[in-house]
Amino acid sequence: MLVRGPDGVVSVIDAHLAAASNRLNEILKALTGVATILLVVTLVTSFFGMNFAAIPFESTELFWLAMALMAAATGLLALYFKRRGWL
C-alpha cells in the first residue's frame, strides 16, 4: 500500500524496496561478469576433456601455449570488466 505524504513523497518501504532492487541488479551484473570470464576456462577444459585418438596441443610446448592463451584471455576479460566497473 502506497502512503503518500502531503508533498507526494512515497513511503519509506518503497524507497527501501527500490534500493534493494538496485543492489540486486549490481550483484547480478557482477555474477554475470564472473560467469563470462569463467566461460573461457570452461570452453578450453571441455575441449581437452574430449576423448580423441590424437589431441591437439599434445606436445608439452603447445600445451603450455594453450594454457597461456587461456590465462591471457581470462585476464583480459577480467581487466575489461574491472575497467568498465562491472566487477
Residue 9 pLDDT level (bands cut at 50, 70, 90): low
**Global confidence as pTM:** 0.55
Residue-by-residue DSSP string for 29-85: HHHHHHHHHHHHHHHHHHHHTS--SS-TT-SHHHHHHHHHHHHHHHHHHHHHHHHHT
Residue 62 pLDDT level (bands cut at 50, 70, 90): confident
Query: What residue ranges do the domains of the chain occupy?
Result: 12-84
Does domain 12-84 sit in CATH 1.10.3470?
no
